[in-house]
Amino acid sequence: MTDARWSGSAPVRRWSWTDPALRSAVIQITLAIALIWMAWSFFANAQENLARQGIASGFGFMENSAGFGITQTLIPYSESMSYGRVFLVGLLNTLLVAFLGIILATIIGFLMGVARLSNNVVIRALASAYVEVTRNLPPLFQILFWYLAVLSTMPNPRQSWAFGIKPFLDSLASGASAIGLTPLGAWLKGMADAAAAPGVFVSNRGLVVPRPIFEPDANIIFGILVASVIVAFFVARWARKRREATGQQFPTFWAGLAIIVLPALAAGLVLGAPVTIENPELRGFNFVGGIRVIPEFVSLLVALSIYTAGFIAEIVRAGILAVSKGQTEAAHSLGLRSGPTLRLIIIPQAMRVIVPPLTSQYLNLTKNSTLGVAVGYPDLVAVFAGTTLNQTGQAIEIIALTMAVYLTISIVTSTLMGWYNKRVALVER
Amino acid sequence: MSLDTVAYVAPVDLRPQEPAPVSTRGAYGWARAHLFGSIGQVLLTLFGIWVIYVVVPPLLKFFIFDAVWTGTGRDACLPETVGRPVGACWPFIAAKWNQIIYGFYPEAERWRVNTVYFFGAALLLPLMFPKVPYKRLNALAFFGIYPVAAFVLLTGGDLDLRNFVLGWFGLDLGLASAGGLRVGFWLQFLIVTGIAVGIGMLVCPFFGGERRSVAKTILKTFAVIGVVLLVVDIDLGLVPVETRQWGGLLVTLVIAVTGITVSLPFGILLALGRRSELPLVKYASIIFIEFWRGVPLITVLFFATYMLPLFLPGRFTIDGLLRALVGVALFASAYMAEVVRAGLQAIPKGQYEGAMALGLRSGLMMRLVVLPQALKLVIPGIVNNFIGLFKDTTLVLIVSIFDLLGILRAAFTDPSWATPTTLFTGFGFAGIVYFVFCYGMSRYSMALERRLDRNRRH
């Protein structure tokens, strides 16, 4: 005879909210139904609304002729080209301002970040003021400020500010003469007169810079450059392997520089300098020659770099502070000088802390480049989600495509970031 | 064997005595260490002083010493009429003051904006200082009651609601209205409440719930919804003010505060969803969060302005400001979710285990144990989020909503104030406003962080 408690059939399974399997099923099914219902109603509404407005959906419009001009194009473009071409032009403009902005912001940001840790109180205070002011003013405010208040109030091209060796020497000469060093002033003046005409002009029409003109032979130099970069890469790898195996040092940086620069320089001399510089010249009321950089681009680039640099400065500061002082002391006690200590001990460890937030700042800069639409910089949002959308009314396709571009950039960057993080992560032992 | 044959022992007298080290104390020592210790230091100091000399005096001169303080038109700020170089033209700001604060809000109704400003400050200030008591009540007032009251005051309320839920299924009772309330709408509301209670009582036995308490909860929820609807629906005799007439600081603050109040609950839900063990919930949350975080706010605003109306039934017409608010809320929720998630991750596992050991269900565990600690941890992060949102509100000027910056930008084109310094005055003023708000909040957030740090160390 067995105990009734043990022999009975399994208890009837009651439906209970505390049953995790049931609960998860109910929640997920409800969510799925809600999502599907939402997607379906969006779809149905969109179809109904589009039909009422007489808009054909689909990407067919991308092949239609655009019919509007764009003030800055990196690839050949004319009004008769298609909206697809407009998309490409806008995308390239976005990438251009983001790329240059990232470089500038990194340089300014690292300088300011190091300056905030300087022993010198004046420099430290200035860097802190820079960081606080730039981070606490909205980026759009800064863009409009540079565009409306700075660049628009610049003199016209005839009185534009010229930058170059000649005006620099000129101002040095007049400065020297003013403080009584007349012979030096006269000598500098002579040098200035001999120097080439100024190449960079700033006026209310934007920036004008010299244009390099490549002759066919220049391709040979490019080829040599690419080849020497590859060689330098392999030399660096060999040097690192040897160092790890034997401990012998190799001047990788200088050797690499020599490998990259010297062959190209030699080839240039042999081929008779196939690159000439075309200086802009003032003719009548505007400039002829050179590359004209539109003021919208200048203001956007300057504002974005300055704004993002404030954040980068804080990241750099935090990164350097995150490396404990014991690391410096240990390096010194091993006999390393302060240069190698910084290069070999502090920076590699600081980079581990700096790089992840740095990339997210790069992403922010890229996303903030869309603010150029406020001053009329022809980026992707301005020419595609702006003008093209107004002309065609294809809201869904255009905005989805624009968002997809930025999403792709974000996802690619964060994937790379994840890969990097895994590579530099501390190996716990 | 003499001492000097031992190579490794230095003969004592070989080294001359070194002079005493330069003092590192006192004013001189400090200046040496921080200003002119070496030639490089001296150059850096000189460079810094030069930068200060180039930047600060001209700014002071422009904004204070050369500024024009009184006047009624552009003539007051023209160098020709004043007879000296002219700096900032402050009368321009004074003349545009009302626009900057209220936008184009009708003059007779501005007391409503003032009331909203006043209660906003009166409720927010005590919330900001940890020592002031009644935090729960205060938070409820600020996040729960204040938005509804502000909405009614600013728009005038009297929404004239027509259908509640049943309308979606094609039922339209129509009927008469009295005092801004439609009988049909409230009948529908009562019917829906009844249906909801009925369903709840029918279903709850399957989930082990108690009929009475379920019915009570549902009734309570509907009571809250009903009160809110009643307040926004009833005709209080306020003149309706369209959002097109709003502008300036009002719009800036409305967007920022709405963004943060809406994003807080949604952000918490999304963060919990992202950490959920249910795959569908988890991935839906991840996709939502990463999508909105991956695109720029402008495209979100474009989405809300041009695309969203297409997705809604044709009879809905959404107000321009509301569209922007929807966009900002979606965007801010995604960012808030990540802030909250950081807080959730910072809670040690022992807290979860302790709560489970006490027998708390997962909902109660989150509500009573984890979230209170996590949210307290991320208050600085929330404030930082708010700073970002505050700066981002400027973007609405691109979809033609006139916030603070938009109003100033419009004011620049006013020919009756066209002077050479108007632009700089306007930018200077807007810059000061944004800086004061953002810098103040960032200081506040840092102070909070220090306080939290101190508390955690005990």
The alpha carbon of residue B440 is apart from the nearest alpha carbon of chain A, in Å, by 10
Residue of B nearest to A400 (CA): B303
Q: A387: which DSSP letter? A: I
Question: Distances from the Cα of B313 to the Cαs of A41, A50, A407, B160, B184, in angstroms?
Answer: 8, 11, 28, 19, 21
**Which of A97-101, B182-186, B369-373, B444-448 ranks highest by mean pLDDT?**
A97-101
Q: Name chain B contacts of A126, Cβ cutoff 8 Å.
A: 48, 51-52
A255–B contact, CB cutoff 8 A:
no
The alpha carbon of residue A327 is apart from the nearest alpha carbon of chain B, in Å, by 23
B51–A contact, CB cutoff 8 A:
yes
Nearest CB neighbour to B284, from listed A31, A126, A132? A31
pLDDT tens figures, B19-31: 777 666 777 778 8
Decide yes or no: CATH 1.10.3720.10 for domain B244-401: yes
Flag if B295 and A18 touch (Cβ within 8 Å).
no
Residue of A nearest to B404 (CA): A141
pLDDT value of position B11: 60
Residue of A nearest to B427 (CA): A145
Nearest CB neighbour to B41, from listed A16, A48, A120? A120
Interface test with B, best of A134, A384, A399 (most B CBs within 10 A): A399
Q: How confident is the model at residue A366 (pLDDT cuts 50, 70, 90)?
A: very high
Residue of A nearest to B425 (CA): A149
Residue A338 or B340, more confident: B340
A111–B contact, CB cutoff 8 A:
no
Flag if A138 and B392 touch (Cβ within 8 Å).
yes
Interface test with B, best of A118, A137, A408 (most B CBs within 10 A): A137
User: B179-184 long-range CB contacts below 8 Å, 24 or more apart?
Assistant: B179/B234, B179/B235, B180/B233, B180/B234, B180/B235, B180/B236, B181/B230, B181/B233, B181/B234, B181/B235
Place of tokens 């490794």: B8
Flag if B299 and A149 touch (Cβ within 8 Å).
no
Residues 405-424 of A with CB under 8 A from B: 406-407, 410-411
B363–A contact, CB cutoff 8 A:
no
Average the pLDDT over A74-80 and give the result.
84
Flag if B281 and A28 touch (Cβ within 8 Å).
yes
Flag if A24 and B277 touch (Cβ within 8 Å).
yes
Contact present, A259 and A251 (Cβ < 8 Å): no
Q: Does residue A268 register a pLDDT over 90?
A: no
CA-CA distance, A421 to B270, in Å (whole number)?
25
Residue of B nearest to A381 (CA): B299
pLDDT value of position A3: 47
Flag if B302 and A136 touch (Cβ within 8 Å).
no
Residues 16-55 of A with CB under 8 A from B: 16-18, 24, 27-28, 31-32, 35, 42, 45-46, 48-50, 52
**Which of A298-302, A337-341, B373-377, B426-430 has the weakest average pLDDT?**
A337-341
User: B112-120 long-range CB contacts below 8 Å, 24 or more apart?
Assistant: B112/B153, B112/B154, B112/B238, B112/B241, B113/B153, B113/B154, B113/B250, B115/B153, B116/B149, B116/B150, B116/B153, B116/B154, B117/B253, B119/B146, B119/B149, B119/B150, B120/B146, B120/B150, B120/B253, B120/B257
Residue B314 or B341, more confident: B341
pLDDT value of position B169: 67
Question: Distances from the Cα of B364 to the Cαs of A70, A301, B285, B335, B361, in angstroms?
Answer: 58, 51, 21, 25, 5
Q: Name chain B contacts of A400, Cβ cutoff 8 Å.
A: 307
pLDDT tens figures, B295-327: 999 999 998 888 888 888 766 677 888 888 999
pLDDT value of position B10: 63
pLDDT value of position A99: 93
Domain boundaries, chain B: 158-235, 244-401
CA-CA distance, B308 to B328, in Å (whole number)?
13
pLDDT value of position A2: 45
Q: Does residue A143 register a pLDDT over 90?
A: yes
Residue A391 or A23, more confident: A391
**Which of A62-66, A264-268, B293-297 ranks highest by mean pLDDT?**
B293-297
B173–A contact, CB cutoff 8 A:
no
Task: Report the percent of chain B where pLDDT is more than 70.
Answer: 90
Residues 333-362 of B with CB under 8 A from A: 361
Residue B9 or B436, more confident: B436
Flag if B302 and A381 touch (Cβ within 8 Å).
yes
Q: How confident is the model at residue B436 (pLDDT cuts 50, 70, 90)?
A: very high
Q: Does residue A413 register a pLDDT over 80?
A: yes
Q: How confident is the model at residue B118 (pLDDT cuts 50, 70, 90)?
A: very high
Evaluate the CA torsion angle A153, A159, A163, A168 in order and state its sign.
negative
Interface test with B, best of A120, A411, A415 (most B CBs within 10 A): A120
Average the pLDDT over A20-43 and give the result.
87
pLDDT value of position A4: 46
A78–B contact, CB cutoff 8 A:
no
CA-CA distance, A30 to A25, in Å (whole number)?
8
Q: How confident is the model at residue B457 (pLDDT cuts 50, 70, 90)?
A: low
Nearest CB neighbour to B434, from listed A120, A141, A411? A141
Write down the mean pLDDT value for chain B.
Answer: 85
Write down the mean pLDDT value for chain A.
Answer: 83
Q: Name chain A contacts of B395, Cβ cutoff 8 Å.
A: 140, 371
Q: B18: which DSSP letter? A: P
Flag if B391 and A138 touch (Cβ within 8 Å).
yes
Q: Does residue A198 register a pLDDT over 70?
A: no
The alpha carbon of residue B388 is apart from the nearest alpha carbon of chain A, in Å, by 8
Q: Name chain A contacts of B88, Cβ cutoff 8 Å.
A: none
The alpha carbon of residue A304 is apart from the nearest alpha carbon of chain B, in Å, by 14
Q: Name chain B contacts of A374, Cβ cutoff 8 Å.
A: 397-398
Flag if A145 and B442 touch (Cβ within 8 Å).
no
Flag if A141 and B307 touch (Cβ within 8 Å).
no
Q: Cα angle vertex B170, ends B166, B171, to 5°?
A: 55
Q: How confident is the model at residue B288 (pLDDT cuts 50, 70, 90)?
A: very high
Average the pLDDT over A320-334 and give the result.
89
Flag if B310 and A45 touch (Cβ within 8 Å).
yes
Q: Does residue B57 register a pLDDT over 50?
A: yes
Q: Cα angle vertex B110, ends B107, B115, to 5°?
A: 170
Q: Output the six-digit token pair for A232.
A: 């330098």
ipTM: 0.85
Flag if A122 and B48 touch (Cβ within 8 Å).
yes
Flag if A148 and B427 touch (Cβ within 8 Å).
yes
A278: enclosing H helix or E strand:
strand A275-278
Q: How confident is the model at residue B286 (pLDDT cuts 50, 70, 90)?
A: very high
Contact present, A136 and B445 (Cβ < 8 Å): no
B29–A contact, CB cutoff 8 A:
no
B134–A contact, CB cutoff 8 A:
no
B391–A contact, CB cutoff 8 A:
yes
**Total number of residues shown for chain A:** 429
Question: Distances from the Cα of A281 to the Cαs of A85, A162, A169, A195, A292, in angstroms?
Answer: 32, 11, 19, 15, 11
A155–B contact, CB cutoff 8 A:
no
Contact pairs from chain A to chain B, CB under 8 Å = 164
Q: How confident is the model at residue A274 (pLDDT cuts 50, 70, 90)?
A: low
A114–B contact, CB cutoff 8 A:
no
pLDDT value of position B202: 83
pLDDT tens figures, A233-252: 998 899 888 888 887 878 88
Nearest CB neighbour to B307, from listed A371, A396, A411? A396
- Phi/psi of residue A211, each to 5°? -110, 125
pLDDT value of position A1: 42
pLDDT value of position B4: 54
Q: Name chain B contacts of A141, Cβ cutoff 8 Å.
A: 394, 405, 427, 430-431, 434
Residue A275 or A75, more confident: A75
